[in-house]
Amino acid sequence: MMKYQYCGHSGIRLPMLSLGLWHNFGSVDPYDTARDMILRAFDAGICHFDLANNYGPEPGSAETNFGRIVREQLAGHRDEIFISTKAGHAMWPGVYGDGSSRKSLMASCDQSLKRMGLEYVDVFYSHRYDGITPIEETMQALVDIVRSGKALYAGISKYPADLQQRCYDYLRSHDVPCLLSQYPANMFKRASIAPTPDSNLAVAARNGSGFICFSPLAQGLLTPKYQKGIPQHSRAARSTGFLRLDQVTEERIEAARQLMGIAEERGQTLPQMALAWLLNDARVTSVIIGTSSVEQLDDNLQALRNPAFCEEELRRIDRILGKEGIAM
Ligand SMILES: NC(=O)c1ccc[n+]([C@@H]2O[C@H](COP(=O)([O-])OP(=O)(O)OC[C@H]3O[C@@H](n4cnc5c(N)ncnc54)[C@H](OP(=O)(O)O)[C@@H]3O)[C@@H](O)[C@H]2O)c1
* Structural domains in the chain, sorted by start: 4-321 (3.20.20.100)
Q: Which atom of ligand 1 is closest in space to residue 235's alpha carbon?
A: 40
Residue-level pLDDT at 104: 98
Residue-level pLDDT at 327: 72
Compute φ and ψ for 284, nearest 5 degrees: -80, 120
Residue-level pLDDT at 115: 98
Q: Give, for 5, the enclosing helix (H) or strand (E).
A: strand 4-6
Report how far ligand 1's centroid is from the alpha carbon of 291 (Å).
Answer: 6
Residue-level pLDDT at 99: 98
Residue-level pLDDT at 182: 98
- Listed as ranges, residues in the chain with pLDDT below 70 are 323-325
Residue-level pLDDT at 291: 98
Indicate if ligand 1 lies below 6 Å from the C-beta of 157: yes
Residue-level pLDDT at 326: 75
Short-list 174, 144, 171, CA closest to 155 = 171
Indicate if ligand 1 lies below 6 Å from the C-beta of 20: yes
3-class SS of residue 299: helix
Q: Whose CA is nearest to atom 25 of ligand 1?
A: 220
Q: Which residues contact 198 (CB under 8 A, 6 or more apart)?
A: 161
Residue-level pLDDT at 322: 81
Q: Whose CA is nearest to atom 16 of ligand 1?
A: 215
User: pLDDT digits over 107-143, tens only?
Assistant: 999 999 999 999 999 999 999 999 999 999 999 999 9
Indicate if ligand 1 lies below 6 Å from the C-beta of 192: no
Compute φ and ψ for 206, nearest 5 degrees: -60, -30
Short-list 93, 90, 80, 153, CA closest to 122 = 153
Output the pTM of the full model.
0.97
Indicate if ligand 1 lies below 6 Å from the C-beta of 61: no
Q: Whose CA is nearest to atom 21 of ligand 1?
A: 219
Compute φ and ψ for 151, nearest 5 degrees: -140, 150
